[in-house]
Amino acid sequence: MKTTFERIETALRKALQKRGSIYFSYTDVAFKYPWLCFYNTGLVLKAKLFNGAIIHIIGDSHVRPFVFKSPFLVHHISQATAYNLTKDNSFSQSKKYLSSFLPRINRERDVLLLIFGEIDARVHIYLQYRKNDGKISIEKIIDATVEKYGETIRRLRDDGFAVCVHGIPPAARKNFVSNLPFLGTPEQRSEISSMFSKKLGEFCQQNGIPYIDVQSVSAGENGFIKKEYVADEVHLNGKIVPFARERIVEAFKDCRKFN
């Protein structure tokens, strides 16, 4: 039975999701969101005054490090997978929300940064592997996931957006809590994450799309997240932001102005 606060939080999340808000807890909704609205408004006004690019980052909870970091404007889609971005009626409604965010992006001035795939790598790829009794290899499942994600990436590029892709973070050594029937070991998840990151990078290179390989700086020799980049058992911390910004500016410096 949900408490009153839980019902209020659920209602607020549904309402704020339509505005591309960022939220992860009741306190975030109550205290962080109003300030984020002011920040976003100021960022947009500054871009209009000085014609500087906004980097619109659309993704799952891995957008967290970019909150309140200029020139990033965050659009969060809860629990979205890379595989289902093309699906009309996915659980997260990610295709619908992604489409609702796009009109806010100035195609001539701004950059669109996508960050999806970590949930696929951490949970769904191994889950599908086990559900199929290992008859379909993990590599083939990763290939299919990158291909489906690639459909969205190419579509956005072909629609005139300056698109770049944020790679998935390395796996965390610590196990996470889940009710799912199949979870790989930390070592298996690390292998899946590394392979997914590599294949996604290859896709982007083949299609001329800038790829932010976060694993190149945040993964240790064993493939797990380096301690200095750990935010929690799943997410990177804010140390990744300067690295990502530098790569984006370098990729678009000839066609975008960054203040």
Taking only the tens of pLDDT, the chain with its 259 residues reads 567 656 655 665 555 544 444 445 545 555 566 788 888 899 999 999 999 999 999 999 999 999 999 999 999 898 899 999 999 988 888 999 999 999 999 999 999 999 999 999 998 999 899 989 889 999 999 999 999 999 999 999 999 999 999 999 999 887 666 665 567 888 999 999 999 999 999 999 999 999 999 999 999 988 999 999 999 878 999 999 999 999 999 999 999 999 8
In the chain, the domains with their CATH numbers are 52-252 (3.40.50.1110)
CA atoms within 13 A on the CB side of 255: 11
Packing angle between helix 138-158 and helix 186-206, nearest 10 degrees? 40
The C-alpha atoms of residue 207 and residue 61 are separated, in whole angstroms, by 26
Q: What pLDDT shows up at residue 19?
A: 44
* Helix or strand (DSSP H, E) at 188: helix 186-206
Q: What pLDDT shows up at residue 22?
A: 47
The C-alpha atoms of residue 166 and residue 212 are separated, in whole angstroms, by 5
Q: What pLDDT shows up at residue 34?
A: 76
Q: What pLDDT shows up at residue 78?
A: 84
- As a whole number of Å, the CA-based R_g of the chain is 18
- Exposure pattern of 62-73 as b/e (b: 16+ CB <10 Å)? bbbbbbebbbbb
Q: What pLDDT shows up at residue 222?
A: 86
Q: What is the dihedral of CA 213, 226, 230, 142, to 10 degrees?
A: 50
Residues paired with 57 in a beta bridge = 74, 113
54 contacts: CB under 8 Å, gap ≥ 6: 43, 44, 47, 71, 72, 73, 105, 106, 109, 110, 111
With H, G, I as helix, E, B as strand and everything else as coil, classify residue 75.
strand
With H, G, I as helix, E, B as strand and everything else as coil, classify residue 227.
helix
Q: What pLDDT shows up at residue 257?
A: 94
Q: What pLDDT shows up at residue 185?
A: 86
Which tokens belong to 82?
């890379």
In angstroms, the Cα distances linking 54 to 185, 198, 224 are 39, 27, 31
Tell which residue, 18, 164, 165, has the closest CA to residue 103: 18
